[in-house]
Amino acid sequence: MDKKECDILILGAGPAGLTAGLYAARAGMKTVIIESMAAGGAINMTPDIANYPGFLEISGHELGEKMREQAEAAGTEIEYDEIDSIDLSAKVIRCATWSDAPSRCAGTISYKALIIATGAHPRKLGIEREEDFIGSGIHFCGLCDGMFYRDKDVIVVGGGNHAVEEAIYMSAIAKSVTMIVDIDKLTAQETLIKQLGKDVKIHFGSEIKKLLTDKKLVGVELKNGTTVNADGVFVAIGRIPNTQIFNGKIELSKGGYIKVNDKLQTNIADVFAAGDVTEKNVRQIITACADGAIAATHVAELLGSTRIRK
């Protein structure tokens, strides 16, 4: 089994992880990123991004590729593999063994400091054909994708703070907003509920049974048989942080997010976290990048780098 050593090991090659890799490598640290899927992470599912500075519009895949190229040009090495286990005391991770994929890690990597940037994935509806329309009819972030539904009809699924915030935001953009709430009341804070426009229609005690399509999404059918016309559905029923492997090893919030300080340091001195995997309020590409830069800068300082560049 192969063995590798590095100064900084980063878990996840999304915007946070790739930015952390860029900053760590530029600080003179031997840097390795482990990514289980494709560089760019979840942004690969977003066909159009219009709120990232420097680009009027760019696809998530293209932006992820540009970030990867920049991180690798700085000297970051990216390994594509799953993680079997991690020992935070010994500072060693064990990768999955892929006998048919020799380019993968397939071994162990020891490190001096760790940055966790494994992200979080949105809780999905769990209905037929949902995956087919993610990014082109089904979305999980109004702030990210709402502008593509200007003067169109949209649905927001959920009744908590996130859902009501999405409905308020989309009310200023869309022609109409309809909320689908699975219980008989909204559970968001009262101050948010009061901001909901009177023209937002709410179906209480309802769930989406199936999607109505005609080459594109045209609406949904609820479990009670009601149909609702819509060009887009924004799902706001919670997110699931990718922290299962760290249960009982580092301090997590009640929701499973990693708790960090202002340096993005966890309760373990040489373990940092960045991006959507952390306990935070705003989860955007640009905030993930900022987290990556902050975490990598402080990790490099911790390891005594004298080459931290602006």
Sign, CA dihedral 31-35-38-42, equals negative
Helix (H, G, I), strand (E, B) or coil at 8: strand
User: Beta-carbon neighbour count of residue 174 at 10 Å?
Assistant: 24
Cβ neighbors of 29 (< 8 A, separation 6 or more) are 6, 7, 8, 299, 300, 303, 305
Domains and CATH numbers, the chain: 2-121+239-302 (3.50.50.60), 124-235 (3.50.50.60)
pLDDT of residue 82: 87
pLDDT of residue 3: 81
pLDDT tens digits, 221-261: 999 999 999 999 999 998 899 999 999 999 999 989 999 99
Read off the pLDDT of residues 185-195 as tens digits, 9 standing for 90 and up: 999 989 999 99
Where in the sequence numbering do the catalytic residues fall? 141, 144-145
| Residue 183 neighbours by CB under 8 Å, 6+ apart | 159, 204, 205
Tens digits of per-residue pLDDT, 89-107? 999 999 875 545 444 565 8
pLDDT reported for residue 36: 87
pLDDT at 104: 57
Q: Hey, what amino acid is at 148?
A: F
Question: What is the percentage of the chain residues whose pLDDT exceeds 70?
Answer: 94
Is residue 67 within 8 A of residue 42, CB to CB? The reply is no
98: its two tokens: 């892929």
Compute the mean pLDDT over every residue in the chain, rounded to the nearest whole number: 91
pLDDT band at residue 219 under the 50/70/90 scheme: very high
The pLDDT of residue 310 is: 52
pLDDT, tens digit (0-9, with 9 covering 90-100), for 115-134: 999 999 889 999 999 999 99
- As a dihedral over the C-alpha atoms of residue 241, residue 246, residue 250, residue 254, rounded to 10 degrees, the angle is 40
pLDDT in tens, 10-69: 999 999 999 999 999 999 999 999 998 889 988 887 767 888 999 998 988 999 999 999
Please name which of 190, 161, 164 lies closest in space to residue 179, comparing C-alpha atoms: 164
61, 6, 60: which is closest to 33 by C-alpha? 6
pLDDT value at residue 242: 95
Q: pTM for this structure?
A: 0.76
Mean pLDDT for the stretch of residues 258-282 = 96
